[in-house]
């Protein structure tokens, strides 16, 4: 039931014009089937999947197309039945406009599903490991924007509190609002599955106070459940209260430790859309092949929410909503605060796409990033930052590439909410600088990791070669000893042999010098005594040679 509790507050935040009324007036509509679907392999945080189908192969709706053996990853599935016509590079929704590996399916419009084996209510008899495997194989990721593989978040067990995030604090976006209005019971069932996996003791469902219809629908579903496990918590409307860190602090009063996780304080957060997707996976054995997308903005003729199969062209979504208005100015994927603009709409909808926002020319989103003015150190960004960072200091060091100093100012605590950019009178795109600095630091870390790995491989090779050299020398030594034993000579070590050879050589040199010293250089005009000395020297020389021969 809904309880009145004392909520905590976070620093900063913004009161915005939300423009929710543009798209929340009608029900969720089904996106019309299209002839071709482009399925990127990389739609989540972590490793991209490896293709397990072939070009020319017919696939069924819900069939797995790619999966990775790496832990942090999520497979992708066919949103329709049809034929794979291409596997290769294609434009994807990315700020850089880069291409990525994709699977392109030609729709046969038969909508033929793979065989389904739903678990339904039997999940209460299953262990956490098996349920997580179902969720992983269904390709479910966080649908609130982070797109982190959901099964990985659920590896922590004995969590005290599960928080279901229905805040949706960004302007314009209403997909979660409509989902809770129309499918509240399924959301509750999905949350119950998550709670069973992590052994949670309570579930708090959070909704902002500007969504009265969603509040009523979710409260009715909680009353129908009647277990007392679920509790609805109304949160004041303030951006970015939907951020995981902010929401946990508001509801529980606890703060996630630096470089820590919510599980460290006994909390796990999931988006309501993720809970609904988990319900579909368990109750209907359907993978994540579609999601609700808000298509909105003053640059759209008819703003609404669409249930869109993954891989549908953004252009087709815009067309179903009446197309662009005459005043269309900028296409943004995501919300105006944390989203990014696209140069063209010939890219597919992916799992991370919760909103397609088309702004008009008189709207301030996104901020002008082409020719910003110098920072005047007004401090507004500091006042607005919900994480209590120093955005202007981060900007100075990020802009000059001083990664050591920017890390000292806790760059990676930044949640990229965009509050600092929004309030900046100089229109400095602060978040873009922070994202760029993070990317450079991550790249440097990856390069160092590769360099360290190369050094380790080199040292291992040198060590291996040295061992091989020693082994060869040992084999040669043993071989020489065996040969000496066959000849009847006593076996000696290699060092003793070398010393003996050196001693013999020195003795020969010494005797040679003695011969040279007693041999006269000039034999002319010798007397009898000298001739006698020569004969004696000849005798000694002959005796020395005889000894050497012996």
Which CATH number does the domain housing residue 224 bear? 3.40.50.11540
Asked if residue 5 is part of any domain, the answer here is no
- Pairwise CA distance, residues 248 & 310, whole Å: 31
Q: How far is it, in rounded angstroms, from Cα 331 to Cα 358?
A: 5
Task: Tell me which residue of 415, 20, 7, 419 sits closest to 235, measured CA to CA.
Answer: 7
406, 521: one domain: no
Same domain for 294 and 373, yes or no, is: no
**Same domain, yes or no: 313 and 383:** no
d(CA 47, CA 76): 12
Segments in 288-348 forming alpha helices (H): 314-320
Same domain, 274 and 416: no
Backbone φ and ψ of 270, nearest 5°: -140, 145
Residue 27 lies in a domain: yes
pLDDT digits (tens, 9 = 90+) for 92-131: 998 777 889 999 999 999 999 999 988 877 888 899 999 9
Query: Is residue 2, in this structure, part of any structural domain at all?
Result: no
Structural domain tally of the chain?
3
DSSP string covering 217-245:
HHHHHHHHH-SS-EEEEEE---BTTTSHH
Pairwise CA distance, residues 200 & 159, whole Å = 5
Q: Are 240 and 415 in contact (CB under 8 A)?
A: yes
- Whether 401 is in a domain gets the answer yes
Q: Which domain holds residue 517?
A: 508-549
Residue 360: count other Cβ atoms within 10 Å of its Cβ.
16
Say if 531 falls within a structural domain. yes
CA dihedral 214, 219, 221, 225 (to 10 degrees): 160
Has residue 304 been placed in a domain? Answer: yes
pTM of this prediction?
0.81
pLDDT by position in tens, the chain (length 550): 444 467 888 999 999 999 999 999 999 999 999 999 999 998 888 888 899 999 999 999 999 999 998 888 999 999 999 999 999 999 999 877 788 999 999 999 999 999 998 887 788 889 999 999 999 999 999 998 788 999 998 886 668 999 999 999 999 999 999 999 999 999 999 999 999 999 999 999 999 999 999 999 999 999 999 889 999 999 999 999 999 999 999 999 998 888 788 988 999 999 999 999 999 999 999 999 999 999 999 999 999 999 999 999 999 999 999 999 988 989 999 999 998 889 889 999 999 999 999 998 777 554 445 568 999 999 999 999 999 999 999 999 999 988 889 989 999 999 999 999 999 999 899 998 998 899 889 888 888 888 999 999 999 999 999 999 989 988 888 888 888 777 765 555 556 666 777 877 787 777 677 666 555 555 445 556 666 766 776 777 677 666 655 5
Contacts of 139 by beta carbon, 8 Å cutoff, 6+ apart: 64, 74, 75, 76, 77, 287, 288, 351
Instruction: Confirm whether 496 is domain-assigned.
Output: no
How far apart are alpha carbons 402 and 400 in whole angstroms?
6
Residue 499 lies in a domain: no
- Report the distance separating Cα 437 and Cα 337, nearest Å: 19
Same domain, 534 and 403: no
Q: Which of 358, 393, 416 is the last residue of a domain?
A: 358
Co-location of 521 and 435 in the same domain: no
Q: Are residues 173 and 88 in the same domain?
A: yes
Of 340, 358, 376, which residue is a domain's last?
358
Q: Are residues 427 and 372 in the same domain?
A: yes
303 and 416: one domain?
A: no
Instruction: Indicate the SS3 state at residue 148.
Output: coil
Query: Is the same domain home to 351 and 408?
Result: no
β strands within 19-130, DSSP E: 29-30, 36-40, 50-51, 58-59, 64-67, 76-77, 82-91, 99-107
User: What's 487's domain CATH number?
Assistant: 1.10.1060
Note whether 220 and 117 are same-domain residues. yes
Burial class (CB in 10 A: 0-12, 13-18, 19+), 290: buried
Query: Do both 129 and 177 map to the same domain?
Result: yes
User: What whole-number distance in Å separates Cα of residue 549 and Cα of residue 16?
Assistant: 109
């Amino acid at each position: 039931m809904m309880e009145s509790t004392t909520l905590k507050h976070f620093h900063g935040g913004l009161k915005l014009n939300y423009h929710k009324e543009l798209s929340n007036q009608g029900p969720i509509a089904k996106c019309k089937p299209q002839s071709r679907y482009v399925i990127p392999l990389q739609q989540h945080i972590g490793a991209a999947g490896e293709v397990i189908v072939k070009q020319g192969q017919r696939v069924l709706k819900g069939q797995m197309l790619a999966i990775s053996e790496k832990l942090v990853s999520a497979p992708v599935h066919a949103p329709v039945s049809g034929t794979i016509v291409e596997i290769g590079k294609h434009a994807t929704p990315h700020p850089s406009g880069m291409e990525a590996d994709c699977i392109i399916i030609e729709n046969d419009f038969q909508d033929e599903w793979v065989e389904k084996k739903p678990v339904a209510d039997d999940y209460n008899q299953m262990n956490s490991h098996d349920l997580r495997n179902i969720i992983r194989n269904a390709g479910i990721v966080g649908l609130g924007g982070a797109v982190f593989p959901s099964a990985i978040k659920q590896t922590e067990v004995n969590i005290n509190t599960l928080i279901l995030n229905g805040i949706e604090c960004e302007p314009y976006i209403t997909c979660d609002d409509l989902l809770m209005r129309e499918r509240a019971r399924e959301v509750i069932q999905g949350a119950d599955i998550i709670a069973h996996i992590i052994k949670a003791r309570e579930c708090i469902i959070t909704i902002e106070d500007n969504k009265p219809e969603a509040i009523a629908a979710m409260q009715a579903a909680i009353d129908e459940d009647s277990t007392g496990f679920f509790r609805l918590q109304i949160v004041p409307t303030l951006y970015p209260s939907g951020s995981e860190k902010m929401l946990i602090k508001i509801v529980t009063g606890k703060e996630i430790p630096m470089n820590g996780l919510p599980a460290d304080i006994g909390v796990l957060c999931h988006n309501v859309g993720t809970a609904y997707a988990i319900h579909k996976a368990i109750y209907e054995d359907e993978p994540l092949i579609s999601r609700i997308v808000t298509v909105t903005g003053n640059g759209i003729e008819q703003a609404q929410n669409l249930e869109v199969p993954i891989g549908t062209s953004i252009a087709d979504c815009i067309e179903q909503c009446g197309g662009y208005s005459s005043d269309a100015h900028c296409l943004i994927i995501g919300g105006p605060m944390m989203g990014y603009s696209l140069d063209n709409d010939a890219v597919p909808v992916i799992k991370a796409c919760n909103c397609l926002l088309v702004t008009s020319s008189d709207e301030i989103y996104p901020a002008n990033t082409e020719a910003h003015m110098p920072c005047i150190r007004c401090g507004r960004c500091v006042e607005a930052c919900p994480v209590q960072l120093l955005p202007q200091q981060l900007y100075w060091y990020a802009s000059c590439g001083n990664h050591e100093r920017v890390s000292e100012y806790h760059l990676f605590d930044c949640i990229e909410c965009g509050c600092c950019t929004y309030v900046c009178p100089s229109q400095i795109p602060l978040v873009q600088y922070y994202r760029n600095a993070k990317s450079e630091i991550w790249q440097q870390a990856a390069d160092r990791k590769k360099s360290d790995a190369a050094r380790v491989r080199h040292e291992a090779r040198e060590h291996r070669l040295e061992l091989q050299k020693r082994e060869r020398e040992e084999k040669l030594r043993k071989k020489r000893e065996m040969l000496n034993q066959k000849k009847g000579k006593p076996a000696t070590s290699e060092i003793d042999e070398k010393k003996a050879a050196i001693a013999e050589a020195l003795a020969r040199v010494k005797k040679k010098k003695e011969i040279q010293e007693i041999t006269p250089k000039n034999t002319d005009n010798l007397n009898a005594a000298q001739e006698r000395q020569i004969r004696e020297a000849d005798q000694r020389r002959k005796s020395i040679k005889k000894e050497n021969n012996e």
